[in-house]
Structure 1
Amino acid sequence: MSEDSKKSCGDCGKVISTLLTCSGCLSQFYCSVSCQKSNWKVHKKICKAYKILEIPGKGFGMVAIRDIKQGELILREEPVILINKKNSQRTGKELQRQFETLTKETQASVMNLHDDNPTGENDKKLRRIFENNGIDVNQGDAAALYLNIPRINHSCAANVIWGYSKTSIVSKEVRSLRAISKGEELLANYIDSWENSFLNHRDRQARLRKWKFDCSCSVCDLPKDLLHINDNIREGILRQHQLVPQYMAKWDVSKALAAAKEKLKLLLQIKNEVLSSLPSCYLEVYEMARIQQLLSGSSPLKNQNALLVEAESLSKFYGHSFLVSYQAKVKAIEDEIQDIKKNNPQILKM
């Protein structure tokens, strides 16, 4: 129960001095349990599972205020500023123009986002905030500024990921990569790519200095001996990742399949640190196995179709952008198989 004479019931609108508080978001109020149940179909679409709090040594961050299931939609957000990177005035007049169209409340929220040089020139503050907090959208052709997503701090073992929604390529959805417990900080990987995530600790830190901080996440803060092991695994994953296309360029499919399998094996050793990389890796092993099956006449893997199922399952958990990528890759694999059959009959005779 919470005392709040200024709040009204989220369902019937009645204003009373004692209201029930939604335990999910702690920001919606009801005069009775029946009103709370009646309003849930509407409220669940906006019920927040997190709070923005000050995190020691990090500034502000997002913390789960209840348990969150794997794949749960935590946040959907539209940009308040969207700048085309091809615009020569990306951080000049266009940035200022869009800022001035915002409400005073939104302007204040923008100016409260992280500024890596708070004592710097005040007339350049907006530019610094945009450069520090903006996120690439539309395949990197534009940069967008959101009010809440920038509050998510980095970790090399992320538990959330963002991608675009069904409605718009600039509408961002944040989803949980795994189950998250109440009280856990929500963390994303700022350098989530094959080229960056699987670098060793020293080289990842160098990439992250773009945001002017040193990472002290659960991976980077490992004891020296365990960090060395982790570095070896990550570098091994990257090495196998690079070998697959090298072998395929020579049509050495058996070696490409072996490299893809080894890559997946290593990924699974640090699974909870690299969850976003699993769908594409499962698909890669499946692709190599399909081609090898075409060449040899028999499947080289007993669980070949299970890889496809697992990739699809994870992609659905991780959101629309992952599912679109999954569907496009599956189609590309089938097209590739048909192309080999049609245009390269000599390969089938090898």
Structure 2
Amino acid sequence: MHEQASKWVDLLEKVIKIIRPKAYNSIARWVIGVGLLQIAESQAKIAHAFVIALFEEYVGKSEILRSFLGATSDPTTGLILVLGGLGYHLIVTLGKDYIDTRKAELPKSPLLSCLLLNGDKEELETIFTIRGSRVNLPNRDDIPDYKEKEPDYEHPIFGNVHRMAAMHNSILGKRKNTELFRERAKVLSEWAGAELLYLNITNDSSVLASGVSIKLQIPRHKGLSVSMPGQIPDTPKEEIDDFNHLIPHYPTPKPIDLKAISLDADSCFYHISWSVSKMQAQTEETSTDCILLKTAKTVEIECTIFCDELPEPITAKYIVHPTLETVDINVEQLIDKDSYNKISDKLIMNGYETRVFKSWCEQYEMDEAR
């Protein structure tokens, strides 16, 4: 009911705006003035007598002119102009007041909008292309184990040192991570040619929004992956510390984040939900969690905003194009640490890791300067 009334009020407001220019008072005065002059002229006939006298003085007597001017002595046209001017003035003034009163009586709805942000917290257009490059990786069986050169235990000087270091590592439960190169390949497979996405919502109205939540729906297809691995890729380690796994740990339970993003999937869609609850007027919020999206072909994301004060949900759509570049990775690039770090930084969102670490360093320096 309120929605239908709001539509009619909006329609009337548009009509009033069209017929109510800034000089509407002058328009009404001119119309009424012309009508009054025409009424007065129809009765007094001063102008008629002047025209007839002037014509007959220089041209001659004319019955046709007298008949024509006599026919225009009816005051009806003047009355119509006066009534029209008065009616126009009443409509544009009282109508505007009526609309303002009705709009004030209608319940106000919040004005909500949802945005997607990339990994650098930059606003994305409704049609965007994923940064970075996809990769063609070697077969897993072609990637060797990680092995260090066996130390020379028979060395006359450093042999005993090597033996003691080996015993020390063995006691502490440290061993070489033989899966190092394959883990590097896994990181590139997951992150290269993918984009981190944050959710952002804004309340641009002057009223409180309650029960606010956002749902994203992404159609599943071959070559599409949606996950929540965190803000930065894992860094594969050269050593594995088994000792930590032998000691029981009792971590402090983390508080439940009611505004955390949840990710679910069925056979047809990925479903991403974010509950914001209440939003004050003129505020915005950005999710602390992010999702990692990677696709081999163009995909459409449907974004729906729910709110208790809205008569119906708000929907928006994003079109995501995959990165156009594909890079071939060889085994040597996975084995050499410097080469891997360089290619990884380039392929993952065009230097994303470097930008993140730089940002962390700047934040640390600011914190230390306080």
TM-score range with shorter-chain normalisation? under 0.3
Q: What TM-score, normalized to structure 1? A: 0.21
Normalized per residue, which structure has more helix? 1
Of structures 1 and 2, the larger Rg is shown by 2
